[in-house]
Structure 1
Amino acid sequence: MASELQRRKTAVVFGAMDVDFDGFLTESDFSALAARWTENRGLPPASAQARRLTAIMTGWWQMLLAESDADGDGRVTLDEVLLVVDGLAADTSPVVATADAMFEAVDADGDGRISAGEYRELIEAWTGQPTDTDEVFGLLDGNGDGYLSRHEFTELWTEFWAGDNPNAPGTWVFGRFELPLRSV
């Protein structure tokens, strides 16, 4: 069963992905996220980069749907995502696959690393609002070189989805949020 921290992390991301606020994730939510991200980057919708970003987001949706849609209704609830999170301690392969795809999406200039600016763009695409990410990026950039490599990003992404340590840098991959209260 997902811990309170895992539930909180998942709920924060679920809320950001549920663009139409209907309580379900659907393909249209992922299309809207891709459109927002494309717009934030200033890409023409028909450009190769915009099509690539949309394909990555659509691919992530297809993987999430396949892994999470327990009742087969074509939409995913928070509880269905949490069922997948429950199984990640035993098998992180679904997370590693999405980390690779998301790295491709975030690495806007294709240089094989994510800069602080590219990370900010990711968070602003999720939240739909300007966000100061300098402090969080500093936590994520463990070696202090100003970038996240594919390997670093995969570790952080996996820590976020499968981890249960509030002090782990990966806890903050999607930005800051309020931690659950500790039970005594």
Structure 2
Amino acid sequence: MVSDFRKKKLLHVFQAFFDTDKSGSIDKNDFDLAAEKIAKLRGWSAGDAKFKEVQESLNKIWESLQKRGDADNDGKVSADEWVAMCDDYAKNPSAVEWQSLYMKFIFNLEDASSDGSIDSEEFSSVYVSFGLNKDECVAAFQKMAKGKPNVSWPEFQELWKEYFTSDDANAPGNFIFGKTSF
């Protein structure tokens, strides 16, 4: 059973980052729209190699997510299917391919300088492009980073797992998706 607190966190990710077209479910179109948002953020055009790389990565994530989460095989993942799928991840994080793909994708997206760590500006610019408030994103980064200027890939992986598995409202991982309260 997913607690109310975890469900709020999971639905934040669902609504802010996956249900890009705000239809109430996730489908392939949401991933295409996300690729366009990312291209705009980074200043890439449709023909750029980086844009194609993002599209390919998002397609792999979608295929894996759909295989895992589309319980009724209707070509989309509903909010209820999403919560159930994320609860499966919480029970066995190493067994869920789409999560690993998405975690690496997000880290690489946020690490705009490609230096192996994320800073507050890199972090907040991504989430602002998805409609979140810049000041809240900066505050979330400070909580997530525990006051440090950067978050490394190993730290990010632990924070990621914490986001999807923890019921502790004060856990630093709760802030990995740019929100300071649930």
TM-score range, shorter chain: 0.7 to 0.9
Instruction: Please give the secondary structure, in 2, of the residue aligned with 1:148.
Output: strand
Amino acid corresponding to residue 15 of structure 2 in structure 1? G
Amino acid corresponding to residue 126 of structure 2 in structure 1? L
> Could you tell me how far apart the structure 2 residues matched to 1:172 and 1:59 are?
26
Instruction: Please give the secondary structure, in 1, of the residue aligned with 2:118.
Output: strand
Amino acid corresponding to residue 161 of structure 2 in structure 1? T
> Could you tell me how far apart the structure 2 residues matched to 1:162 and 1:149 are?
20
| Structure with more relative contact order (C-alpha pairs < 8 Å, separation 6 or more) | 1
TM, length-normalised to structure 2: 0.88
> Could you tell me how far apart the structure 1 residues matched to 2:63 and 2:129 are?
19
Residue 5 of structure 1 is matched in structure 2 by 5
Q: How far off is 1:28 after superposition?
A: 0.8
> Could you tell me how far apart the structure 2 residues matched to 1:8 and 1:175 are?
14
Segments of structure 2 that go 5 or more residues without pairing to the other structure are: none
> Could you tell me how far apart the structure 1 residues matched to 2:168 and 2:100 are?
18
Q: How many pairs are equivalent? A: 177
> Could you tell me how far apart the structure 2 residues matched to 1:178 and 1:114 are?
21
> Could you tell me how far apart the structure 2 residues matched to 1:7 and 1:62 are?
23
Amino acid corresponding to residue 124 of structure 1 in structure 2? V
124 and 55 in structure 1: CA distance in 2 versus 1, 3 angstrom threshold: farther
Q: How far off is 1:136 after superposition?
A: 1.2
Amino acid corresponding to residue 74 of structure 2 in structure 1? D
Amino acid corresponding to residue 35 of structure 1 in structure 2? E
Instruction: Please give the secondary structure, in 2, of the residue aligned with 1:89.
Output: helix
Alignment of 1:2-81 (within 5 A): 2-16=2-16, 17-81=18-82
The answer on whether the counterparts of 1:33 and 1:125 sit within 8 Å (CA) in structure 2 is: no
The answer on whether the counterparts of 2:70 and 2:76 sit within 8 Å (CA) in structure 1 is: yes
Q: How far off is 1:131 after superposition?
A: 2.1
130 and 51 in structure 1: CA distance in 2 versus 1, 3 angstrom threshold: farther
1:165 maps to 2:176: no
Instruction: Please give the secondary structure, in 2, of the residue aligned with 1:174.
Output: coil
130 and 83 in structure 1: CA distance in 2 versus 1, 3 angstrom threshold: closer
Percent identical among aligned pairs is 29
Alignment of 1:104-143 (within 5 A): 104-127=108-131, 131-132=134-135, 133-142=137-146
TM, length-normalised to structure 1: 0.87
The answer on whether the counterparts of 1:96 and 1:154 sit within 8 Å (CA) in structure 2 is: no
58 and 46 in structure 1: CA distance in 2 versus 1, 3 angstrom threshold: same
Higher helix proportion: 2
Instruction: Please give the secondary structure, in 2, of the residue aligned with 1:88.
Output: helix
Q: How far off is 1:98 after superposition?
A: 2.8
Amino acid corresponding to residue 131 of structure 1 in structure 2? K
Q: How far off is 1:92 after superposition?
A: 0.5
CA-based RMSD of the aligned residues comes to: 1.8
Q: How far off is 1:162 after superposition?
A: 1.9
Q: What is the CA deviation profile of residues 19-67 of structure 1, one whole-angstrom value per residue up to 9, with x for unaligned ones?
A: 2221110111011012111101212222122222222222222221111
